[in-house]
């Protein structure tokens, strides 16, 4: 993600500008409520402009510089940076709620090397036109598939998606094509489970609470950073970075599928630990359905598994910490809260298949490169896997559409789902997900989700569901559209029984469906 492209150098006066005399009767605003002695800056501090206000290049002549007192007045008190002015977004297409349309972007990693890419210097503000917001930075997008998809039946074709909510949200830099679109409503709605999920592998993560209650971001960072790794992926199209975290001390690491998908068939994955060790990783298995993957390294010393929490017990408003390598900056720590739970989020297109996530929402700053990194509570327990963010697309006269960085809308895969999927991959090399065996009609204007073709001998067929039935409720959750139905089904496990309320010819019916399964 990128910051605003407008540069502002606080405390800097254009060469040749005439310094102005101070106004004794109107002290500077920053001096208000200060003790009288605090308003007098030391000679040494008043002679130094803030570091970010110093111009690069040859020094100017003494005659062309403003007086040091004028620079100090404009820069504010010593040690205080002058805030950059707020720039209103340029005019352009507005969202339904009167704000620029939001763009939800999966975080595959920050592109660090490709034939047409030159990485910006550390102090630069990378622009969106460099591609850091795209689903696969530097990688060509796959063309959209024809209209129609097998939503709840099984594997989904790759396609760009249309996401329609109060404001427009797009995952994975999707093309806004109405006919190839999928309705995804980011709304409340926990799925009610009617049977216990399969028990996860006790070997994943550390057992119990491996760390004392840190109760501070600093202590969480100290406890978790040794378990977080940077993942560099090299493919024919270029190189990108993402994040991951250690599940077991024998080298198993969890990350996002879209981080490693481009190198899944080879050995172009390098892992760098927090203490600087480097090793080549291999892909153990991937789950495009949940955007998760497990990789493994060998020969790395002192790997420290994370402690896994319980995402079902996460509360809205609970403090959280995100760790990873945003924009390739390893060991970055940001903090925020859990903004919401059970946000249906879809992601797909490009190099990856469609994913459906019943996500945790957070305002902790998450950017490209954070993908696959952990979202952690203040007990140093991982509660989610960072996967996607929402951004605001703006029209630039210089480079077309540009996107900002984090706007406080990040989405993480709940760790309960991630733990089940990782356990399946480690034990069998692949993962499974639940299905009912019916095509969803994406052109249906809700509420509810209208079923298309019913797969023979599927869970839907055995339950007596028919083409044209409109599913309105699943386990007490009111279905708002096609994607909402799929997300709610994916939040269960194969073999579970769910209650569906559906409409057929104006009459309402109830049925119990035992979920089937697909691999992916």
Compare 237 and 301 and report the one with higher pLDDT.
301
Tell me the three-class secondary structure of 173-240, residue by residue. CCCCCCCCCCCCCCCCCCCCCCCCCCCCCCCCCECCCCCCCCCCHHHHHHHHHHHEEEEEEEECCEEE
Ramachandran class of 344: left when φ > 0, alpha when ψ lies in -120 to 50, beta otherwise: beta
pLDDT value of residue 84? 39
- Give the rounded percent of residues in the chain with a pLDDT score beyond 70: 55
Q: How far apart are CA 13 and CA 9, in angstroms?
A: 9
Q: Which domains does the chain have, with CATH numbers?
A: 223-297 (2.40.10.10), 318-393+406-428 (2.40.10.10), 432-519 (2.30.42.10)
pLDDT value of residue 180? 27
Residue 204 pLDDT > 90, yes or no?
A: no
Closest CA to 321 of 223, 391, 209: 223
Residue 291 bears catalytic tag: yes
The tokens describing 414, both together, are 């709940």
What is the H or E stretch that residue 259 is in?
helix 257-260
Cα 454 to Cα 438, 449, 467, 486, 492: the distances in Å are: 5, 14, 6, 15, 20
Residue 213 pLDDT > 90, yes or no?
A: no
Residue 72 pLDDT > 70, yes or no?
A: no
pLDDT value of residue 123? 37
pLDDT value of residue 349? 54
Q: How far apart are CA 98 and CA 462, in angstroms?
A: 47
Average pLDDT over residues 431-436: 94
Average pLDDT over residues 388-400: 65
Selected catalytic residue, list 258, 287, 393, 477 = 258
Q: How far apart are CA 346 and CA 11, in angstroms?
A: 45
Residue 109 pLDDT > 80, yes or no?
A: no
* Partner residues linked to 279 by β-bridges: 271
Residue 433 pLDDT > 70, yes or no?
A: yes
CB–CB of 269/281 below 8 Å? yes
pLDDT value of residue 354? 81
pTM above 0.75, yes or no: no
The tokens describing 58, both together, are 């040859």
Q: How far is CA 344 from the centre of its chain?
A: 14
Q: How far apart are CA 32 and CA 30, in angstroms?
A: 6
Cα 137 to Cα 228, 355, 458: the distances in Å are: 22, 18, 38
Q: Which of 259-268, 357-366, 416-425, 485-494 has the lowest mean pLDDT?
A: 259-268
Residue 183 pLDDT > 50, yes or no?
A: no
Selected catalytic residue, list 53, 262, 355, 371 = 371
Angle at 305 between CA 303 and CA 307, to 5 degrees: 160
Burial class of residue 59, CB neighbours in 10 A (0-12, 13-18, 19+): exposed
Residue 364 pLDDT > 50, yes or no?
A: yes
Residue 359 pLDDT > 70, yes or no?
A: yes
Direct distance between the N- and C-terminal alpha carbons of the chain, in angstroms, rounded to an integer: 29
pLDDT value of residue 325? 95
The β-bridge relationship of strands 307-308 and 381-396 is parallel
Residue 463 pLDDT > 50, yes or no?
A: yes
The tokens describing 6, both together, are 């407008």
Residue 340 pLDDT > 60, yes or no?
A: yes
Average pLDDT over residues 352-363: 86
Upper half-sphere CA count for residue 303 (Cβ side, 13 Å): 23
DSSP 117: B
At 145-162, the pLDDT tens digits run 333 344 454 443 333 333
Residue 371 bears catalytic tag: yes
Q: How far apart are CA 516 and CA 520, in angstroms?
A: 13
Selected catalytic residue, list 53, 133, 287, 291 = 291
Compare 401 and 414 and report the one with higher pLDDT.
414
Band of pLDDT at residue 395, cut at 50, 70 and 90? low
Q: How far apart are CA 513 and CA 503, in angstroms?
A: 15
pLDDT value of residue 279? 95
Average pLDDT over residues 245-262: 95
Upper half-sphere CA count for residue 259 (Cβ side, 13 Å): 41
Residue 483 bears catalytic tag: no
Sign of CA dihedral 112, 116, 118, 120: negative
Band of pLDDT at residue 193, cut at 50, 70 and 90? very low
Band of pLDDT at residue 403, cut at 50, 70 and 90? low
CB–CB of 328/225 below 8 Å? no
Q: How far apart are CA 187 and CA 480, in angstroms?
A: 9
At 228-245, the pLDDT tens digits run 999 999 887 788 899 999
Compare 70 and 292 and report the one with higher pLDDT.
292
pLDDT value of residue 235? 83
| DSSP strands (E only) in 247-331 | 252-255, 269-272, 278-287, 292-297, 307-308, 319-324
**Percent helix, strand and coil across the chain, each to the nearest 5:** 15, 30, 55
Average pLDDT over residues 377-390: 95
Q: Verify cis geometry, omega within 30 degrees of 0, for the bond prior to 39.
A: no
Average pLDDT over residues 92-106: 42
Residue 414 pLDDT > 90, yes or no?
A: yes
Band of pLDDT at residue 407, cut at 50, 70 and 90? confident
Highest average pLDDT, of 99-103, 149-153, 357-361, comes from 357-361
Compare 259 and 152 and report the one with higher pLDDT.
259
* Partner residues linked to 282 by β-bridges: 296
Average pLDDT over residues 344-368: 82
Q: How far apart are CA 354 and CA 361, in angstroms?
A: 19
Mean pLDDT rounded to a whole number for the chain: 70
Sign of CA dihedral 430, 181, 370, 112: positive
At 22-42, the pLDDT tens digits run 444 444 444 444 444 444 444
Give the number of residues written for the chain: 520
CB–CB of 414/311 below 8 Å? yes
Q: Is 36 helix (H, G, I), strand (E, B) or coil?
A: helix
The tokens describing 170, both together, are 């797009």
Burial class of residue 148, CB neighbours in 10 A (0-12, 13-18, 19+): middle
Q: Which of 79-83, 283-287, 405-409, 492-496 has the lowest mean pLDDT?
A: 79-83
């Amino acid at each position: 993600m990128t910051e605003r492209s407008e540069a502002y150098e606080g405390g800097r006066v254009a060469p040749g500008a005439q310094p102005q005399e101070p106004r004794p009767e109107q002290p500077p605003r920053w001096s208000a409520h200060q003790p009288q002695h605090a308003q007098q800056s030391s000679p040494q501090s008043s002679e130094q402009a803030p570091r970010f206000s110093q111009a690069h290049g040859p020094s100017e002549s003494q005659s062309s510089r403003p007086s040091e007192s004028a620079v100090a007045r404009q820069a504010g008190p010593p040690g205080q940076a002058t805030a950059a002015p707020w720039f209103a977004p340029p005019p352009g297409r507005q969202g339904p709620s009167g704000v620029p349309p939001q763009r939800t972007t999966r975080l595959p990693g920050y592109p660090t090397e490709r034939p047409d890419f030159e990485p910006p210097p550390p102090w630069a503000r990378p622009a969106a036109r460099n591609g850091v917001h795209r689903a696969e930075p530097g990688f060509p997008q796959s063309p959209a598939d024809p209209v129609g998809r097998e939503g709840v039946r099984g594997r989904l074709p790759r396609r760009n998606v249309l996401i329609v909510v109060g404001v427009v949200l797009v995952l994975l830099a999707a093309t806004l094509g109405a006919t190839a679109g999928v309705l995804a409503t980011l709304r409340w709605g926990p799925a009610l489970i009617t049977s216990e999920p399969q028990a996860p592998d006790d070997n994943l993560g550390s057992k119990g609470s491996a760390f004392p209650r840190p109760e501070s971001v600093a202590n969480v960072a100290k406890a978790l950073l040794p378990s977080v790794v940077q993942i560099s992926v090299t493919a024919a199209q270029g190189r990108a970075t993402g994040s991951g975290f250690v599940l077991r001390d024998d080298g198993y690491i969890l990350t996002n599928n879209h981080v490693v998908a481009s190198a899944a068939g080879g050995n172009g994955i390098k892992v760098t630990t927090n203490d600087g060790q480097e090793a080549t990783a291999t892909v153990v298995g991937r789950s495009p359905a949940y955007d998760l993957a497990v990789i493994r390294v060998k020969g790395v010393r002192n790997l420290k598994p994370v402690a896994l929490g319980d995402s079902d017990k996460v509360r809205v408003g609970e403090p959280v910490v995100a760790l990873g390598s945003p924009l390739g900056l390893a060991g970055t720590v940001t903090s925020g809260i859990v903004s919401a739970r059970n946000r249906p989020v879809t992601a797909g297109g490009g190099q990856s298949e469609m994913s459906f996530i019943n996500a945790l929402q957070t305002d902790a700053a998450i950017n490209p490169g954070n993908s696959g990194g952990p979202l952690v509570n203040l007990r140093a327990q991982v509660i989610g896997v960072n996967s996607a963010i929402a951004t605001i697309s703006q029209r630039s006269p210089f480079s077309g559409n540009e996107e900002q960085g984090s706007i406080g809308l990040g989405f993480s895969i709940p760790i309960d789902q991630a733990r089940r999927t990782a356990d399946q991959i480690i034990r069998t090399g692949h993962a499974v997900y639940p299905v009912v065996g019916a095509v969803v009609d994406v052109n249906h204007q809700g509420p509810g989700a209208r079923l298309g073709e019913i797969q023979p001998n599927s869970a839907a067929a055995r339950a007596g569901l028919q083409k044209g039935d409109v599913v309105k409720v699943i386990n007490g959750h009111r279905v708002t559209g096609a994607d909402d139905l799929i997300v709610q089904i994916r939040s269960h496990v194969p073999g579970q029984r769910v209650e569906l309320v559906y409409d057929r010819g104006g009459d309402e019916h109830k049925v119990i469906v035992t979920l089937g399964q697909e691999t992916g």
